[in-house]
Structure 1
Amino acid sequence: MSLKGKVGTEIEIKSPPEKYYNIFKSQAYHVPNAAPNHIQGVDVHEGDWETHGSIKIWKYTAEGESGVFKEKVELDDANRSVTLVGIEGDVMKDYKTFKPIYQVVPKGIGSLAKLSIEYEKLREDVPAPNKYVTLMVNITKDLDAHIMKA
């Protein structure tokens, strides 16, 4: 059994791809306001809100459990993709590598959000991080509603 894997899903959203991508690229501080049931806070640890390589600390709730996730952001403007490379936090107790990826592509009058997590488990008995994909879906739905209200 392989310890490495990738899980993910795609969901259609009404937001224009640029607006959705820009929240993650340069306005992540809006996420707790848009998705308060899922994200309770985000702070810049090193760098700033919009620079590739900046480090942020997220406070989240997944399936009723609170957690902290420290990540280094990788931005890909050409593909409207944001990768949050896990450095520390609760998920790192079970995973050697943990990389949530938010990508958005134009689809009709809205967008298609491609949400995935690349991971490597520390042990065979660790489940795939499906609950975190669900968290990403919930955040995306809340962000979409927030963007469309603005």
Structure 2
Amino acid sequence: MGLKGKMIGQTVVKHSGVGDVFHDLFSKRPHDLAIASPEKVQGFTLLEGTLGAAGSKICWHYTHDGKESIAKQIIDEVDEVKQSIKFRMIEGDLMEFYKSLIITYHVDTIGEDNLVTWTLDYEKLEELGPHPGTLLSFFLHMIEDIEAHHLDGA
């Protein structure tokens, strides 16, 4: 029997504009994540639909826990006002461990600070499978990579 759960992680980005850059990367320029965070993301392919549009099917090539992996997802929701996207995993390496996995991020701007929140809603195939905490950490560290890349003037 699997285990259902939700994990939420947040990080503050203290440089103005990075929240906008972060959302822009995921919604309009996801292929540039391989430049901003090359140790984590190696590529992106739009399989069906339109960049940043609900209903689109996408594929990520990434490295997680030292393993090159693939993730195919459907974009379930995009909210430009809340700067959020909800991705539903449909195929790939993570589906070896999860019956369902929904990954959502949103950006809140508070003064000059941006708070980026990642939420993982999941159901594991087996309770003893890998803990999703390493995946949440992957996303939180990606924000640091994007911020550093943005500050380098790229």
TM surpasses 0.5: yes
Aligned counterparts, 1:83-102, within 5 A: 83-102=86-105
What residue is the counterpart of 1:141 in the other structure? Answer: 144
**Unmatched 5+ stretches in structure 1:** none
What residue is the counterpart of 1:3 in the other structure? Answer: 3
Size of the aligned set, in residue pairs, is 150
Aligned counterpart in structure 2 of residue 34 of structure 1, from 9, 24, 36: 36
Q: State whether residues 38 and 138 of structure 1, in contact with CA within 8 Å, keep that contact through their aligned partners in structure 2.
A: no
Q: State whether residues 55 and 70 of structure 1, in contact with CA within 8 Å, keep that contact through their aligned partners in structure 2.
A: yes
Shift of 1:54: 1.0
Q: Normalised by the size of structure 1, how large is the TM-score? A: 0.91
Note the alpha carbon deviations across 1:85-138, whole angstroms, 9 max, x for none.
Answer: 101000001101111211110023130111121101111212331111111012
Aligned counterpart in structure 1 of residue 74 of structure 2, from 67, 72, 75: 72
Return the letter of the residue paired with 2:28: S
**Unmatched 5+ stretches in structure 2:** none
**% identity of equivalent residues:** 30
What residue is the counterpart of 1:108 in the other structure? Answer: 111
Q: Give the distance between the partners of 2:16 and 2:38, measured in 1 at CA.
A: 19
Shift of 1:53: 1.5
Shift of 1:147: 2.6
RMSD: 1.7
Change (3 A) 1:118 1:131: same
